[in-house]
């Protein structure tokens, strides 16, 4: 089966037009970010991520956008993030991971580019990285237990969670002062080389996502065990980084 990498540009354009009509003067800008801009979009697993800047977040103003957003989510896309420009600026310190990624790779679909000139404080970046890793590790264990008797659900968990962990691995490289890789695969490999963990489960999952390998050639429980062990090793290593004198 061929890899479906086409970003649904027509759907995105139509949604932005509906959002503009619904929001009117309240809508300041709409920005595309994530894999659809980074070049590693995979239709089976990736989301179309949108940031919408609005002037007024009162409930009546939000409800005016509801019909357009409902149509969008019915097409299996996540709702855009809605935030004011002031909120964006004031929350940049606690959302440093997300906003650093958005700032690095984004495309303005409507209105002003509020990301390029955004100042992102990084004094909480290391702590946010550990928090995100620990939270996602705990959730991974929980879901592995809940899906223990369902191989299909376990596969879905591994293949869908991979993007989030690859993002955090990239930011672990940032904490180390290393160059930022362009792709998920390069991020995993670079951090594995640095920390000495086994990158094989991530590479196998990437091969499945990209239709380079047949899912039937792997045992899901074996792969899940390797995947969990690697995430635990990275989380422990990031914790040690935070306890180093640099902290």
Alpha helices per DSSP H over 96-219: 96-104, 125-146, 151-175, 184-195, 200-209
Q: Measured between alpha carbons, how far is 203 from 236 in angstroms, rounded to an integer?
A: 21
CA angle in degrees (0–180, nearest 5) for 232-236-241: 145
**Cα(203)–Cα(187) distance, integer angstroms:** 11
Domain boundaries, the chain: 9-111, 125-242
For range 116-142, the mean pLDDT? 96
| 111 Rama sector, left if φ>0, alpha if ψ -120 to 50, beta otherwise | left
CA-based nearest residue to 171, from 141, 128, 202: 128
pLDDT tens digit sequence for 105-118? 999 999 999 999 99
Which of 81-90, 111-120, 237-246 bottoms out in mean pLDDT, i.e. has the lowest?
237-246
169-183, 190-204, 230-244: range with lowest mean pLDDT = 230-244
* Closest listed residue to residue 45, CA positions, set 150, 147, 166: 166
Distance CA(31)–CA(103), nearest Å, equals 10
pLDDT for residue 247 = 45
pLDDT above 70 for 183? yes
Percent of the chain topping pLDDT 70: 96
Distance (Å, rounded) from C-alpha 47 to C-alpha 57? 24
Q: Is the pTM of this model over 0.85?
A: yes
Give the residue-averaged pLDDT of 212-228: 97
CATH of 9-111, one of 3.40.50.2000, 3.30.460.10, 3.40.50.1220, 1.10.490.10: 3.30.460.10
Q: Within 10 Å of residue 88's Cβ, how many Cβ atoms? A: 18
Cα angle: 180, vertex 181, 182; to 5 degrees = 120
């Amino acid at each position: 089966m061929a890899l479906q990498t086409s970003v649904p540009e027509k759907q995105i354009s139509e949604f932005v037009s509906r959002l503009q009509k619904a929001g009117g003067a309240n809508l300041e800008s709409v920005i595309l970010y994530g894999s659809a801009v980074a070049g590693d979009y995979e239709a089976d697993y990736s989301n179309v991520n949108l940031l919408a800047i609005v002037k007024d977040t009162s409930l009546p103003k939000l409800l005016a956008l509801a019909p357009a957003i409902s149509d969008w989510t019915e097409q299996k896309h996540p709702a855009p993030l809605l935030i004011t420009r002031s909120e964006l600026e004031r929350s940049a310190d606690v959302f440093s991971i997300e906003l650093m990624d958005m700032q690095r790779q984004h495309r303005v679909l409507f209105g002003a580019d509020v990301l390029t000139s955004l100042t992102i404080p990084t004094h909480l970046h290391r702590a946010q990285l550990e928090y995100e890793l620990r939270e996602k590790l705990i959730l991974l264990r929980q879901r592995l237990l809940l899906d223990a008797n369902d191989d299909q659900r376990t596969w879905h968990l591994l293949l869908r969670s991979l993007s989030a962990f690859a993002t955090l691995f990239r930011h672990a490289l940032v904490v180390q002062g290393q160059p930022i890789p362009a792709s998920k695969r390069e991020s995993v490999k670079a951090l594995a080389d640095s920390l000495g963990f086994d990158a094989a489960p991530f590479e196998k999952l990437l091969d499945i996502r990209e239709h380079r390998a047949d899912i039937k050639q792997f045992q899901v429980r074996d792969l899940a065990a390797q995947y969990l062990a690697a995430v635990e090793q990275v989380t422990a290593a990031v914790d040690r980084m935070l306890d180093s004198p640099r902290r």
